[in-house]
Amino acid sequence: MTITLNVQGMTCGHCKMAVTKALTEIEGVSNVEVHLQEGIVDVNYDEAKVNAEKLKEAIEDQGYDVK
């Protein structure tokens, strides 16, 4: 399953790395693509292991807003 999340507040490479790291550490996440210019994050994940709410929480825990 792939979900695209709108993430507010990402401005630089550090932001990209923080979001990528937080998401890839979640069991069930197979791929993360952060698009700084668009303010979106594409996440491939296994619905049997993780849900979209958990993905959003991981990003919010890094200090970013998910819309």
Tens-digit pLDDT profile for residues 10-26: 999 999 999 999 999 99
Number of structural domains (the chain) is 1
Pick out the chain residues at pLDDT < 70. none
Which residues are CB-neighbours of 14 under 8 A, at least 6 positions away? Answer: none
3-class DSSP state for residue 57?
helix
Tokens 């069930």 locate to: 28
Residue with tokens 């970013």: 64
- CATH number for position 42: 3.30.70.100
Closest CA to 5 of 35, 50, 37: 35
Which domain, by its residues, includes 14? Answer: 2-66
